[in-house]
Amino acid sequence: MRTHFNERLQGLRTQVVSMGMAANDMVQKAVDSIVNADPSLASEVVKADDYLDRLERELLLETALIIAQEAPVASDLKLLVSTLGIVSEIETVADHAVKLARRGTKLGSMFPSELKGTLRELCDAAKHQFTSSLKLYMEYDVELARSIVVDDDQIDGRYATARNGVLELIKSDPTHARAMLRTIEIFHALEHVADHAVAISKRMQVIHEPPVQPSEPDSSSEGLS
């Protein structure tokens, strides 16, 4: 019975990670569509979202069935409950990829060429964070979990720098302000991808790093002062 449950749980985890990598690929393809002003790539991202939506429904159902049929306890139950949230986090990352693709299509060739390198750098950093969070889901590592949370400040800093760069462009030439504001939204969507990596990491920390209980005061020292 235990072997059957472990195999079923491992199969679920593998499918969740596969879904996560598919969402990650969508993010990359969306950024490529922006950098290259390629609407065909953007269209592929939008179409892929239907596949991710279907995967989300299937994995949520499978997770619920495992909970109902296997009656897991302790850490196994915590993992399965967290899986419900993690699947939703992954689907939201796919949604951000679609937003990236659609905003890039509206911008066309108006995305500032001087910010394309910054966009790729933020994309690489956000994707690295997200991939790392998927690794945590498969095999927990304390240091990796903490680094994902700590490194989020760097992602936020990259986004702030990009946003400020766009605002400077608006100041120098306000005629394309609306397009430039859409550029800020593109950078913000990537920053949100990293936020979901942090959310997954924190869910795993709850399972594997229970809070330390405060120690009771030493009764032997009472009344000595």
Two tokens, residue 2: 């235990």
Residue 166's pLDDT is 94
List CB contacts of 114: < 8 A, sequence separation 6 or more.
Answer: 165
Residue 213's pLDDT is 60
In tens, the pLDDT along 119-133 reads: 999 999 999 999 999
For residues 167-172, average pLDDT: 94
CB 158 within 8 A of CB 194: no
CB 62 within 8 A of CB 130: no
Q: How confident is the model at residue 224 (pLDDT cuts 50, 70, 90)?
A: very low
Side-chain half-sphere of 81: how many Cα atoms within 13 Å? 11
Q: What's the rounded Cα separation, in Å, for the pair 89 and 193?
A: 9
Query: 50-59, 75-84, 186-195, 208-217: lowest mean pLDDT where?
Result: 208-217
CB 189 within 8 A of CB 99: yes
Which of 123, 132, 124, 121 has its CA nearest to residue 100? 123
Give the chain's mean pLDDT: 92
Which of 93, 87, 95, 101 has its CA nearest to residue 55? 87
**Strand runs (DSSP E) across 34-163, as ranges?**
none
Q: Which domains does the chain have, with CATH numbers?
A: 2-210 (1.20.58.220)
Which of 117, 114, 92 has its CA nearest to residue 189? 92
Long-range contacts from 62-66, C-beta under 8 angstroms, 24+ separation: 62/12, 62/15, 63/12, 63/87, 66/5, 66/8, 66/9, 66/12
Higher pLDDT, 161 or 214: 161
